[in-house]
Amino acid sequence: MRTGRLIAACLLVTVVATTAPAAAGDAHRRQPAAAPARFTHPGVLVGAAQLAFVRTKVQAGAQPWKAAYEQMLGSAYGSLSRTPKPRAVVECGSGSQPNHGCTDEREDAIAAYTHALAWYVSRDARHAEKAIELMDAWSATIKDHTNSNAPLQSGWAGSVWPRAAEIVKYTYDGGWPRSGRFATMLRTVYLPEVINGAPSKNGNWELIMAEAAQAIAVHVEDRAGYDKAVGIFEDRVPAYFYLRSDGPQPAYPPRTSIDTRGELVAYWHGQSAFSWDGLAQETCRDFGHTGYGVASVAHVAETSRLQGADLYPWLKDRLRHALGFHTRYENGAAVPSSLCGGTVKKGLGPVTEVGYNALHTRMGLDLPSTRQYTESRRPQGTEHHYVAWETLTHAENPS
Convert the pLDDT of each residue in 46-62 to its tens digit: 999 999 999 999 999 99
Q: Is the pLDDT of residue 24 over 60?
A: no
Q: Is the pLDDT of residue 12 over 80?
A: no
Better-predicted residue by pLDDT, 23 or 153: 153
Cα separation, 327 vs 262, in Å, equals 28
95, exposed or middle or buried, with CB in 10 Å at 0-12, 13-18, 19+? middle
Cα separation, 116 vs 163, in Å, equals 8
Q: Tell me which H or E stretch contains 47.
A: strand 46-47
Average pLDDT along the chain: 93
Query: What's the confidence (pLDDT) of residue 29?
Result: 54
Provide the pLDDT confidence category of residue 131 given band limits of 50, 70 and 90.
very high
Residues of the chain with pLDDT > 90: what percent? 91
Q: Is the pLDDT of residue 5 over 60?
A: no
Strand partners, 388: 382
Query: What's the confidence (pLDDT) of residue 84?
Result: 98
Query: What's the confidence (pLDDT) of residue 96?
Result: 87
Write b or e for each residue in 69-93: b if 16 or more Cβ atoms lie within 10 A of its Cβ, otherwise e. Answer: bebbbebebbeeebebebbeebbbb
Q: Give 112-168 as a DSSP string.
A: HHHHHHHHHHH--HHHHHHHHHHHHHHHTT--EEESTTHHHHHHHHHHHHHHHHHHH
Nearest of 283, 297, 392, 393 to residue 347 by alpha carbon: 283
Provide the pLDDT confidence category of residue 31 given band limits of 50, 70 and 90.
low
Q: Is the pLDDT of residue 104 over 70?
A: yes
3-class state of residue 89 by DSSP: strand
Residue 273 has a CB neighbour count (10 Å cut-off) of 12
Residues 37-54, mean pLDDT to the nearest whole number: 98
